[in-house]
Amino acid sequence: MTKLWQGKSNKKIEKFTVGDDYLLDKKLLKYDCKASIAHAKMLKKIGILTDEELVKLEKELNNIIELGKKGKFDIKMEDEDCHTAIENYLTKKLKELGKKIHTAKSRNDQVVAAMKLYEKDEIAKVKKLVNSLISSLNKLSKKNIAMPGYTHMQKAMPSSVKLWASGFVESLEDDLKLLDNALDIIDKNPLGTGAGYGVPLKVDKEITKNELEFKENYKTSLYVQNSRGKHEAIILNALVNVIGTLNKLASDIILFSMSEFGYFSLPKEFTTGSSIMPHKKNPDVLELVRAKYSIVLGYGIQVKGLISNLPSGYNRDLQLTKKPLMDGIEITKDCLEVMELVVSGLKVNKENCKKAMTKELYATDKVYELVKKGKSFREAYKEVKKKL
């Protein structure tokens, strides 16, 4: 298996340094090919490739994308990553022409390009799922049924299903802004920057930027590598806020569906049973959503730890930022899908909500009735408190 760098390596060292990168790169295969197609078009523009050569390269790169979709394109551990596997495939198919694809690029800028394209697609998917959950919460909020509001886990003032659900809608709307902010920051074209210090050819970054629909080019080549990990941490921070909203939503539903409250009830198919207690209907799905906030939070901390104390330029430590980002994205998407199902299937028990609206909830209302009649708030507060 031909490597993109020249030399031999100890098999144990090779396995250690590659890790599971070659497996993770299956998610990046189509993005790497798309970036290579854009790069090839740029090479043709600057005279490195002919029209005929571009057609052949583009055809084979699209073939790789199709093979990848069918699970028929292998990335072996000896390849190290998808970039090597792609170039080896092109060289096998197109001989010397296949070797030209690496002209004016490094694996350093190529991996960032593939990651950026992957991240942009995944952020779009997360946003779509957030909007689906918002839609379900808005439908639930139409059930304007009174229920207690709580502070310090004690009954406080009157609330409603509408107020409760709308609060989560607003939280998710904030989370969408954070996702948009993350997208705005990462939406930069890294191609043409090589290993971080440019390439000794007059490349046209505008071509690859436009082909790949990046918002802008990086202003400095070195920052392409210095932004690795940092940009992943920014995305994970946005995801942590999304799943933090889900954490609170899950906690509330668990609480309010307890028999002691009974405001909500989950469909039976959303609950699990006990191996010893036949009556149990456990909200395991919500407990796992609640717990996975901590997992995604941990991924963010992991990435920030990995990029600390690194000098400028590419360092192999950055390879390890890929998995926590990918795992964080998958967990967030799964949790959003699950919570949309839960909210859509949630039943509101109107009678239980009504019974829970006990008189102490209206104590503050009584204070303000006296205030409207001319009493100071503090005197009115004392008068009402004496009667409780």
pLDDT, tens digit, 9 for 90 and up, residues 266-318: 988 888 887 898 888 889 999 999 999 999 999 999 999 999 999 999 999 99
| Same domain flag for 138 and 259 | yes
Rounded to whole angstroms, the Cα distance separating 29 from 135 reads 33
Say whether 360 sits in a helix, a strand or coil.
helix
One domain, residues 81 and 69: yes
Q: What confidence score (pLDDT) does residue 361 get?
A: 95
| Torsion angles phi and psi, residue 208, rounded to 5 | -70, -35
| Residue 1, pLDDT above cutoff 70 | no
Q: Which of 152, 275, 279, 308 is catalytic?
A: 152
* Amino acid letter, 184: D
Tally of structural domains, the chain: 3
Residue 3 in domain: no
Same domain for 171 and 312: yes
The CATH number of the domain where 223 resides is what? Answer: 1.20.200.10
Residue 17 is assigned to a structural domain of this protein:
yes
Asked whether residue 270 falls in the same domain as residue 297, the answer is: yes
Same domain, 341 and 268: yes
pLDDT at 5: 46
- Over the stretch 116-158, which tens digit does the pLDDT of each residue have? 999 999 999 999 999 999 999 999 999 889 999 999 999 999 9
- Asked if the model's pLDDT at residue 4 lies above 60, the reply is no
pLDDT at res. 7 = 54
189 plus 128 within the same structural domain? yes
H or E stretch covering 233: helix 230-256
- Counting Cα atoms < 13 Å in the Cβ hemisphere of 31 gives 21
Percent of the chain exceeding pLDDT 70 equals 98
Expressed as residue numbers, the domain containing 27 is 11-102
Per-residue pLDDT tens over the stretch 200-257: 999 999 999 999 999 999 999 999 999 999 999 999 999 999 999 999 999 999 999 9
Rg (the chain; Cα; Å): 28
CATH number at residue 73: 1.10.275.10
Can you name the residues that pair with 147 across neighbouring β-strands? 159
**267 and 379 part of one domain:** no
In the residue annotation, 279 being an active-site residue is answered as: no
Residues 332-355 have a mean pLDDT of 97
342 inside domain: yes
328-348 average pLDDT score = 97
pLDDT of residue 6 exceeding 60, the answer is no
Q: Which candidate in 159, 274, 279, 294 is catalytic?
A: 274
Q: Say what percent of the chain tops pLDDT 90.
A: 84
pLDDT at 280: 84
Mean pLDDT for all residues in the chain: 94
- Residue 205 resides in a domain: no
Look at residue 27 and tell me whether its pLDDT is greater than 80.
yes
Looking at the domain assignment, is residue 5 inside a domain?
no
Same structural domain, 151 and 287: yes
Question: CB under 8 Å to 107, separation ≥6 — which residues?
Answer: 4, 81, 83, 84
Any domain includes 42 = yes
> In this structure, are 126 and 96 located in the same domain?
no
